[in-house]
A = this chain, B = another copy of it.
Amino acid sequence: MIIVVRADAEERDIKRLLNLIEKSGLQVNYSKGLDNLILGLIGDTRTLDVSSIESHEIVKKVLRVQEPYKKANRLFHPDNTVIDVNKNLIGGSNFGVIAGPCSVESEEQIISIARDVKKSGAKFLRGGAFKPRTSPYSFQGLGLDGLNLLKIARKETGLPIVSEIMSTEMIQAFNDDVDIIQVGARNMQNFILLRELGKLKKPILLKRGLSATIEELLMSAEYIMKEGNENVILCERGIRTFENMTRNTLDLSAIPILKKKSHLPVIVDPSHATGLWWLVEPMAKASIAAGADGLIIEVHNSPEDALCDGQQSLKPTVFDDLMYKLRSYAQIEGKVI
């Protein structure tokens, strides 16, 4: 960290600042110029509160040089992390596709879709049991019954299941029943939930918040990893911007940045990002071309009757066609779907 101090700062104010820095166990390198005194801090500055430093009136600017995340940082873990659920892999040369409906609606529905997406090459089945909805009057999911239906579909097809957790009370049930626990965009900074999930061994699929920066996403992964669970999958799912033709704006440049900064696998959710089924194919192809390790895609056997997000769901035949096309792209990128 570099701190730029006014050249005319008084000795006692500088001492007060140095005091704060040294209390954090850091050393300081001085450099006095005409206009500024520059302090270069040596040591682990992650616990230092930038705002407190900036509140010293003699401080003009503060520049972080070190990245604030450690476990998620590729610097300290150069190899790609590969997530393995009973030989279903995501990461490295393994392109993993997760598919299924927005929400589990009935046994017939979830089994039918699970069979279809498996046949097309999906490695994981997704399905919402607890649904975070903007309105309290909207369908909120089948709850634990939904989890049970997912388990039946897993038994029928062998596909590991992915479902979204909404609160710490559900951790036991999700740890027992689900193969990958999803943290939704709205909970990306639910730090208590992240901390508890960090105590499990289960892979965690962590979605980027609607207005979270790339660095904040990595800091949320760090919350989980700090507790011991390093099985984190990052997911870009669109950010909120002024553009209103799409539900969100898919930020595909986040993929190569996350891959450079971190060793964790990165997948993309083109369904929620765009909110429109006909944009899923081009955005799925673009994701793999940009370096993604996988996709999570909404598939419904009858989108027009879906209890949520019908407009962004693919029909099974459209999904099948998409998977066929994705294989050509995977081949160029040296990946296996």
Contact = CB atoms under 8 A, between A and B. Distances in A.
Assign chain A's interface to a size class.
Answer: 35 or more
B31 A283 contact: no
Contact of A186 (B189, B226, B273, B313): B189
Nearest to A257: B245
Interface in A50-100: 51-56, 60-61, 63, 65-66, 68-69
Interface stretch (A107-115, A155-163, A164-172): A164-172
Most buried by B among A139, A215, A277, A282: A282
B189 A214 contact: no
Interface string A275-304: 101110011011111110000000000011
A124 interface: no
B244 A256 contact: no
Contacts of A190: 166-167, 186-187, 190
A202 to B, nearest CB: 19
B135 A219 contact: yes
B52 A308 contact: yes
Contact of A137 (B29, B46, B135): B46
A138 interface: yes
A121 interface: no
Contacts of A257: 245-246, 279
A137 B328 contact: no
A335 interface: no
Contacts of A167: 167-168, 190, 192-193
Interface in A226-253: 226, 239-246, 249-253
Closest 8 CB pairs of A and B: A211-B211, A31-B31, A55-B310, A52-B310, A286-B286, A289-B289, A167-B192, A285-B289
7 contacts: A51-B275, A55-B306, A136-B195, A136-B222, A166-B190, A241-B249, A329-B329
